[in-house]
Amino acid sequence: MALLIGCHLSSSRGYLHMAREAMSLGANTFQFFTRNPRGGNAKALDPADIAAFRACAEENAFGQILAHAPYTLNGCSADPAIRDFARRTMADDLLRMEATPGNLYNFHPGSHVGQGVDTGIGFIADMLNAVLFDGMHTTVLLETMAGKGSEIGGRFEELRAIIDRVELHDRLGVCLDTCHVHDAGYDIVGDLEGVLAEFDRIIGLDRLKALHINDSLNPCGARKDRHAKIGEGHIGLPAIARIISHPALRHLPMLLETPNDLDGYAAEIALLKEHHA
């Protein structure tokens, strides 16, 4: 199966533009923010743009695309107004996603801001129970986090605990971010097999639906969440080549979130294709 590879793109010019931009970079998938990071109103969907995008993606054998919730969204804030805002934003995003059925919606579980992991996990599950709906055509992904500050999702056990509390958990999956898991202390450089075995034991590899491919400016366990260009960080190209070629991972959509302009992304996409066995 061909590598499903892409990068984060700006959504300001619509879906068809993103698909064409992805193709110009050598990509066959992409990631985008559903709205600006401050989480304001999303632009109205343009039915003609959506139809043209769907035809283009089909014709060019695109993999699933990954919509990313605003990273400021915090469904486990201590402030009820912020939790409510997160819930309404996600509910709106998931309705909009029905226009492009069969794709992926990724979000950061959130930061418990001192309330404790269990309280935070409870709020996140409450939000998911409120926004997931019967018959939806999107898979919602919990992103593995670096564990910076009071972030939830730095441990596989925390993601498992959220999934366990969600009624429509068949609509849930996980997006593994290489920089984040490395930052959280999982040694994907020295012991990829061990990390994947642990993921499988705690969450289940069948839940893994996408990868964020990033190098890291910091060593394993640093909990800093600073992405580096591929091959310019503490993960390094050989480890990333093993990840993208691993039998348990090689079929998944892989999205770059490295500090690059479009030319830089095109070069990294070519590099990953070259190292995909």
Q: What is d(CA 239, CA 268) in angstroms, rounded to the nearest whole number?
A: 15
Residues forming a β-bridge with 5: 254
Closer of 93 and 143 to Fe ion (Cβ):
143
Task: For the CB of residue 71, give the shortest distance to Zn ion in the complex, in Å.
Answer: 8
List, in sequence order, every residue forming a beta bridge with 160; answer none if it has no partner. Answer: none
Q: By the 8 A CB rule, do 85 and 52 touch? A: no
Q: Catalytic residues, which ones?
A: 38, 68, 71, 108, 143, 177, 180, 212, 225, 227, 257
**Burial environment of residue 269 by CB neighbours within 10 A (0 to 12, 13 to 18, 19 or more):** buried
Q: Is 209 helix (H, G, I), strand (E, B) or coil?
A: strand
- Percent helix, percent strand, percent coil in the chain, to nearest 5: 40, 15, 45
> Among residues 83, 96, 171, 212, which is the contact residue for Fe ion, using CB under 5 A?
212
Minimum Å gap between C-beta 91 and Fe ion is 19
User: What residue ranges in the chain does DSSP mark as E strands?
Assistant: 5-7, 31-33, 66-68, 104-107, 110-111, 139-143, 151-152, 172-177, 208-213, 215-216, 227-228, 254-256
Which CB, 21 or 225, lies closer to Zn ion? 225
Span near Zn ion by CB under 5 A; candidates 194-202, 224-232, 240-248, 266-274? 224-232
CB of 54 or CB of 207, closer to Fe ion: 207
**What residues from 183 to 212 belong to the interface with Zn ion (CB under 5 A)?**
none
| DSSP state letter for 198 | H
Find which of Fe ion, Zn ion, none residue 209 binds, CB within 5 to 8 Å per kind: none
Using rule CB under 5 A, residue 225 touches Zn ion:
yes
Closest contact distance (angstroms) between CB of 263 and Fe ion is 21
Smallest distance from Fe ion to CB 271, Å: 19
Contact 215, 240 (CB under 8 A): yes
* Residue nearest Zn ion (C-beta atom): 225
x-marked contacts with Fe ion along 129-148 as a string, rule CB under 5 A: --------------x-----
Closest approach, Cβ 64 to Fe ion, in A, equals 16
Q: Which of 21, 151, 158, 177 is close enough to bind Fe ion by CB under 5 A?
A: 177
Q: Which stretch binds Fe ion (CB under 5 A): 13-21, 115-123, 174-182, 185-193?
A: 174-182
Q: How far apart are CA 113 and CA 246, in angstroms?
A: 36
Q: Select the binding partner of residue 212 from Zn ion, Fe ion, none (C-beta < 5 to 8 A, by kind).
A: Fe ion
Question: Which of these ranges, 23-31, 45-53, 223-231, 234-242, lies near Zn ion under the rule CB under 5 A?
Answer: 223-231
In the complex with Zn ion, the residue whose CB is nearer, 158 or 225, is 225
Q: How far apart are CA 111 and CA 114, in angstroms?
A: 8
Contacts of 162 (CB under 8 A, 6+ apart): 109, 121, 124, 125, 128, 142, 152
Rounded CA-CA distance 80/220 in Å is 34
Which residues lie near Fe ion (CB under 5 A)?
A: 143, 177, 212
Which residues lie near Zn ion (CB under 5 A)?
A: 225
